[in-house]
Amino acid sequence: MAMAMGMARVFGCSATRVGGKSEGVFTQSCRWASKKAGGSTKNGRDSESKRLGVKKFGGQSVLAGNIIIRQRGTKYHPGTGVGLGKDHTIFATRDGFVRFWYNTPKKRQEVSVKNTREVQRAVAKASA
């Protein structure tokens, strides 16, 4: 029937005769699927958090072996009474109280463990 009316349909395309019977001119139009195929997404993944940061703050009591800071690199440097792990974790080597202080000659922040609670004494004197 399509051929009788001057049209041919092949694979979703159509050819239409233009003009009268004596002219042999055909136009061809082709229409394909217009919806783009959905591909797999490349986003949506994230690494598991490493739980870095300060675990024991200034003035808090620690036992030997307690982790004080987990860090990447040495943002905080070890002072007395603490050790430095191979992943730059600072941990207590003895029982005591955590003390953060800035070492001016070396220009770096250090962490120590002292036997006395110096931080809370200073706060008590200031409030009295």
> Is residue 128's pLDDT more than 70?
no
> Is residue 35's pLDDT more than 80?
no
Give CA–CA dist 114/49, Å, rounded: 31
Give CA–CA dist 32/12, Å, rounded: 7
Please report which confidence band the pLDDT of residue 122 belongs to, taking 50, 70 and 90 as the band edges: low
The whole-chain average pLDDT of the chain stands at: 83
The listed CATH number (2.102.10.10, 2.30.30.230, 2.40.50.100, 2.60.40.10) that belongs to domain 53-127: 2.40.50.100
Domain residue ranges in the chain:
1-32, 53-127
How many Cβ atoms from other residues are within 10 Å of residue 98's Cβ? 26
Please report which confidence band the pLDDT of residue 15 belongs to, taking 50, 70 and 90 as the band edges: low
Tell me how far CA of residue 64 lies from CA of 51, 59, 92, 122, in angstroms: 21, 15, 5, 24
Output 117 or 56, whichever has higher pLDDT.
56
Which of 119, 100, 124, 103 lies closest to 111 in space, CA to CA? 100
Tell me how far CA of residue 12 lies from CA of 7, 8, 26, 31, 37, in angstroms: 12, 10, 16, 7, 19
Give CA–CA dist 70/48, Å, rounded: 16
Report field, pTM of the whole predicted structure over 0.85:
no
The sign of the dihedral angle between the CA atoms of 64, 70, 76, 77 is: positive
